[in-house]
């Protein structure tokens, strides 16, 4: 059997194969609440045959949203809206559902990408004051964030824990904590955005402290039998920034605290980043982390071809593959990968007749 289609366990959660759909912001919520768009979006991806589906970055507080269209999970209204969407998805699909919990930090209060994506100043429509470890703006000319004091940090830890409890009530199968792409937890990790002089800045140990406190709070709040994972940026791609070696050290600390898997992306913290974009360009970062831990490692980033994904796993560079824009372009990518690699995937019975004769018998009935 192709390794891509071998089952894998993540903290006791069994995935039918090693394809994970990564979180993708849709910027289409209303006051943090999911709606019919999310039902259609997640519903189609839940039919894709992937091993797991990750819900987009979900803010743990209103000021933690990237835009006013971000999904949130911070009150009963947002929880109930998500429950309705999940009930619809689960009625027809048995794919494990993961939620990414996030706080955007200094990269919050922005316009939607199709409206330009620029920061919106506090006091303007759909704008608010941002928060960060230090009062350093993401880009020159932006309104600087407020540097968090200890009370503010405690409120954010409590917000992550509350969102994790709500995730448990919703029956979600796993939580992923967002510590990548220049958002709040990544901002604490990187010396480019964290210039604090207290116990939360300076040394690597200090810069890791707040993200680890968030992890501990989420792990304690989410059901013990279900996994908590973390997404990281493996490097800032800027001299003097967060490095792959520091990522590996952070991963070891997370694993010691019960982290069930780590998803290795990169960048997003500094506009000066110089990223060598190309097929599988982030895979070496995943390999650096994999060499440092025993928990499963997920590789992501321009992994678009089935044989490419298979080769990454066969080489031992990662344990799983994440796809994002690839699956928006081709929502049946796992089906097509199974056909290319001689494997099989689950599909709803309504779709079994779609299988071309030349594909072979690759579709197995999904029974939610």
The answer for residues whose C-beta is within 8 angstroms of residue 134's C-beta and 6 or more apart is: 145, 147, 193, 194, 195, 196, 201
Residue 344 CA to residue 359 CA, distance in Å, equals 10
How many CB atoms are located within 10 Å of the residue 302 CB?
Answer: 16
Residue 220 CA to residue 213 CA, distance in Å, equals 11
Q: Grade residue 361 by pLDDT with cuts at 50, 70 and 90.
A: confident
* Residue whose C-alpha is closest to residue 234's, from 294, 279, 301, 177: 301
Q: Grade residue 191 by pLDDT with cuts at 50, 70 and 90.
A: very high
Given the structure tokens 């992923």, which residue do they identify?
Answer: 176
Q: Quick one: which H or E segment has residue 88?
A: helix 76-92
| Token pair recorded at residue 159 | 């917000």
Residue 368 CA to residue 364 CA, distance in Å, equals 13
CB 263 within 8 A of CB 295: no
Whether the per-residue pLDDT at 132 is higher than 80: the answer is: yes
The secondary structure of 213-231 as a DSSP string is HHHHHHHHHS-TTS-EEEE
Query: How much is the average pLDDT of 348-367?
Result: 86
pLDDT in tens, 98-120: 999 999 999 999 999 999 999 99
Percent of the chain beyond pLDDT 90?
96
Q: Grade residue 3 by pLDDT with cuts at 50, 70 and 90.
A: very high
pLDDT score of 125: 96
Read off φ and ψ for residue 70, nearest 5 degrees.
-75, 145
* Residue whose C-alpha is closest to residue 331's, from 88, 70, 53: 53
Whether the per-residue pLDDT at 366 is higher than 90: the answer is: no
Can you list the positions of beta strands (E) in 65-171? 97-102, 131-132, 146-147
pLDDT score of 33: 98
pLDDT score of 236: 98
Count the alpha carbons within 13 Å of 197 in the hemisphere toward its beta carbon.
0
**CATH number of the domain that residue 84 is part of:** 3.20.20.70
Q: How many domains does the chain have?
A: 1
Whether the per-residue pLDDT at 368 is higher than 80: the answer is: no
Query: How much is the average pLDDT of 206-221?
Result: 98
Q: How far is CA 23 from CA 71, 175, 282, 344, in A?
A: 12, 11, 17, 24
| Token pair recorded at residue 259 | 């982290």
pLDDT in tens, 236-291: 999 999 999 999 999 999 999 999 999 999 999 999 999 999 999 999 999 999 99
Lowest-confidence pick of 103-117, 338-352, 353-367 = 353-367
pLDDT in tens, 53-74: 999 999 999 999 999 999 999 9
Question: 245: domain range?
Answer: 3-365
pTM here is 0.97
pLDDT score of 76: 98
How many CB atoms are located within 10 Å of the residue 330 CB?
Answer: 15
pLDDT score of 61: 98
Q: Residues with catalytic annotation?
A: 183
On average, the pLDDT of the chain sits at: 97
pLDDT score of 115: 97
Whether the per-residue pLDDT at 359 is higher than 80: the answer is: no
Whether the per-residue pLDDT at 360 is higher than 80: the answer is: no
* Residue whose C-alpha is closest to residue 163's, from 91, 55, 269, 87: 55
| Token pair recorded at residue 54 | 């990750």
Residue 223 CA to residue 271 CA, distance in Å, equals 38
């Amino acid at each position: 059997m192709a390794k891509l289609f071998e089952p894998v366990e993540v903290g006791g959660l069994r995935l039918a194969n090693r394809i994970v759909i990564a979180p993708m912001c849709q910027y289409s919520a209303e006051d943090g609440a999911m709606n019919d768009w999310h039902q259609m979006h997640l519903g189609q991806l839940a039919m894709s045959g992937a091993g797991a589906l990750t819900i987009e970055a979900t803010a743990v507080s209103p000021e933690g949203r990237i835009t006013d269209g971000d999904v949130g999970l911070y009150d009963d209204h947002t929880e109930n809206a998500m429950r309705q969407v999940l009930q619809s998805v689960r009625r027809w699909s048995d794919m494990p559902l993961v939620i990414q919990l996030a706080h955007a930090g200094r990269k919050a209060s922005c316009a939607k990408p199709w409206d330009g994506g620029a920061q919106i100043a506090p006091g303007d429509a759909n704008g608010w004051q941002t928060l960060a470890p230090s009062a350093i703006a993401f880009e020159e000319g932006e309104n600087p964030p407020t540097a968090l004091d200890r009370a503010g940090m405690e409120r954010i830890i409590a917000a992550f824990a509350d969102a994790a409890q709500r995730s448990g009530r919703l029956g979600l199968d796993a939580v992923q904590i967002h510590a990548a792409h220049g958002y709040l937890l990544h901002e604490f990790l990187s010396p480019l955005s964290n210039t604090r002089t207290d116990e939360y800045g300076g040394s690597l140990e200090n810069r890791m402290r707040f993200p680890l406190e968030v992890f501990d709070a989420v792990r304690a709040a989410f059901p013990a039998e279900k996994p908590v994972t973390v997404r990281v940026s493996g490097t800032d791609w800027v001299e003097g920034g967060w490095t792959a070696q520091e990522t590996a050290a952070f991963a070891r600390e997370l694993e010691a605290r019960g982290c069930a898997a780590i998803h290795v992306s990169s960048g997003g913290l500094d506009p000066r980043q110089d990223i060598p974009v190309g097929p599988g360009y982030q895979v070496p970062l995943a390999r650096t982390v994999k060499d440092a831990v025993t928990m499963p490692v997920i590789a992501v980033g321009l992994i678009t071809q089935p044989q490419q994904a298979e080769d990454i796993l066969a080489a031992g560079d990662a344990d799983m593959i994440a796809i994002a824009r690839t699956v928006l372009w081709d929502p049946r990518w796992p089906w097509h990968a199974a056909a290319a690699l001689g494997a099989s995937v689950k599909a709803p019975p309504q779709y079994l007749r779609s299988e071309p004769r030349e594909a072979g018998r690759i579709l197995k009935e999904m029974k939610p």
